[in-house]
A and B are shown apart, each in its own frame.
Chain A
């Protein structure tokens, strides 16, 4: 694991076409490392899942490299049509979550707006030969021609990675699923939509428990929606969910347990039209230690101590220069962009995305932060990323970029950090960038 010195980030790889021919289906919609960091899964708008595997030689060579190659790719979800409501159900993969490894196969949950699927990804590197009833090409042999019996033998074959859907959890969400989270017990998981959270058991697909319901009896009184939800990494009875009003609720599923609400108090006289919109929390993540959590709202990332709900213990501004552009960002809908955030493996750093293909890293120990860019120009092997700076008013220094020149189409919404090493995956529209610490 990394020391506390500032990390120097270098380019490692970029996946996806670098030309301008981007079809909407290629836009990456989620990125997730598995528990040992050997596998990296991405989901896209076209409903496909692509899994990359760490190149084993890149782990053991000196200096170590973070290199990933395609391991498996499959179509997870297809577009559907809800005939009752005459609504299209997008195949876009909203979230992927990995189960912990129990056997040689890998399991993951992937979800679109309505349906969650459990996928088994397994390797096959042996084939049985010498069947009695079939010949080598698979043709059925005439049973009357058999005079002897033989035992089939296992022979090695070229590695094949197969993905098969093992469970389909459907028809439990009226609204759009925004989160799934696997319990530390590895047997249950939650799925959250705009108004409800359901608890599932992996083995049961036709039933789920509803554990949170914020739907008002009269929809005219709707004031907030659920934006994200996650189970605690160690306490199987604890989960958290965030809302569009900027509140975070830490919930305990045990009978008669109370629920804590985390919200930073705001001076009511300072409220503007935009206050509630920019306070909407787009992502919430527990720390790996389970003692803290981070929340991402439009302009900042906040670190909360689970024992103190009155205010965050740390607040990091992501792109404060956008506060004076809220009017335009509201007009072009960017103010509703849902940025994710993530912890480093040892919880000492936080990462989140911004516009213009910029992403931000905050070191909690040194209190230093850096802005980096995922760009094609720097996509050269072991290229050391240079910090970027945005200037707001007046004189623009060399290498700085003016806030009015930022490309708001290039947004980094999804990022992931390797659980043990300083390797990060950054999704920039249709490209997946992998950066590593200067090993």
Chain B
């Protein structure tokens, strides 16, 4: 039988952090967005500022009250995502998503795999080559010392 080699395609870190898709408003990601790495200046996401101003002129109410401004923003949202439900009834699905923030894994094995995968992605080496299986049975002396968990915070470097 011929053995087929499967090619391992690497997913580069840039692709992993995709901005939200335009099709639907992600109910995902209710988490505290302290770690927004993907670029989120307004210019990228919204129409150009000049278009906004045109919209305002058309609505014929300068200057808009706070409520008017919000209503205009809501109209913009509805035009982009018509399927977004109005969360007036306390947006229960919304909140429930928030309560279960954090990526769900199938089980602990899935979690371990995901952790190892992200570590090997950072090292940019094909996973198979990073850990050679070796030729000899390891002894305590030959096994590398387990790294301590504290990786020093950069706040402690002199300033």
Contacts and interface: CB of A to CB of B under 8 A. Distances in A.
Interface of A: 13-17, 24-29, 42, 44-46, 48, 50, 70, 73-75, 78, 81, 83, 86-90, 175-176, 194-195, 219-225, 244-245, 267, 269-277, 323-328, 330-334, 336-338, 393, 402-409, 411, 413, 430, 432
Q: Which 4 A-B pairs have the closest CB atoms?
A: A223-B90, A270-B67, A272-B70, A326-B73
B46 interface: yes
A78 B35 contact: no
27 contacts: A16-B155, A17-B157, A24-B35, A46-B153, A50-B155, A73-B152, A87-B105, A88-B103, A195-B99, A219-B92, A270-B67, A272-B70, A272-B73, A273-B74, A274-B74, A324-B64, A324-B72, A325-B73, A327-B46, A327-B80, A328-B46, A331-B80, A332-B19, A338-B32, A402-B49, A408-B36, A408-B42
B92 A334 contact: no
B146 interface: no
Interface in B64-96: 64, 66-67, 69-74, 76-78, 80, 84, 86-92, 95-96
B32 A406 contact: no
A25 B155 CA distance: 11
Nearest to B85: A273
B91 A276 contact: yes
Interface stretch (B107-115, B123-131, B137-145): B107-115
Contacts of A81: 105, 108, 111
Interface string B6-41: 000000000000011000011001101111110111
Contacts of A269: 67
A73 B153 CA distance: 8
Contacts of A404: 41-43, 49
A282 B71 CA distance: 23
B95 A225 contact: yes
B34 A29 contact: yes
A406 B69 CA distance: 19
Given A244-B95, A408-B36, 4 more contacts: A45-B34, A87-B103, A276-B87, A336-B33
Which of B67, B69, B70 has most chain A Cβ within 10 Å?
B70
B37 to A, nearest CB: 7
A328 B152 contact: no
B108 A222 contact: no
Given A272-B74, A327-B73, A409 B39 contact: yes
A328 B39 CA distance: 13
B159 interface: yes
A83 B110 CA distance: 11
Given A324-B52, A403-B42, A404-B49, A90 B102 contact: yes
Contact of A324 (B29, B69, B78, B105): B69
Given A81-B111, A224-B95, A331 B73 contact: no
B156 A70 contact: yes
A195 B98 CA distance: 11
Nearest to B29: A333
A50 B153 contact: yes
Contacts of B42: 325, 328, 403-404, 406, 408
A330 B111 CA distance: 30
Contact of A273 (B39, B66, B86, B90): B86
A157 B105 CA distance: 50
A271 B67 CA distance: 7
Nearest to B62: A393
Nearest to A414: B34
Contacts of B39: 409
B35 A88 contact: no
A409 B92 CA distance: 28
Contacts of B136: none
B154 interface: yes
Which of A221, A270, A338 has most chain B Cβ within 10 Å?
A270
A87 B95 CA distance: 18
Contact of B41 (A272, A408, A430): A408
B133 interface: no
Contact of A220 (B67, B87, B92): B92
A331 B108 contact: no
Given A87-B105, A324-B72, A50 B156 contact: yes
A87 to B, nearest CB: 5
B128 to A, nearest CB: 25
A135 to B, nearest CB: 28
Contacts of A334: 33, 36, 40
Nearest to A44: B153
Contacts of A413: 34
A221 B107 CA distance: 29
Contacts of B117: none
Contacts of A336: 30, 32-33
Contacts of B74: 272-274, 326-327
Contacts of B49: 402, 404
Nearest to A225: B95
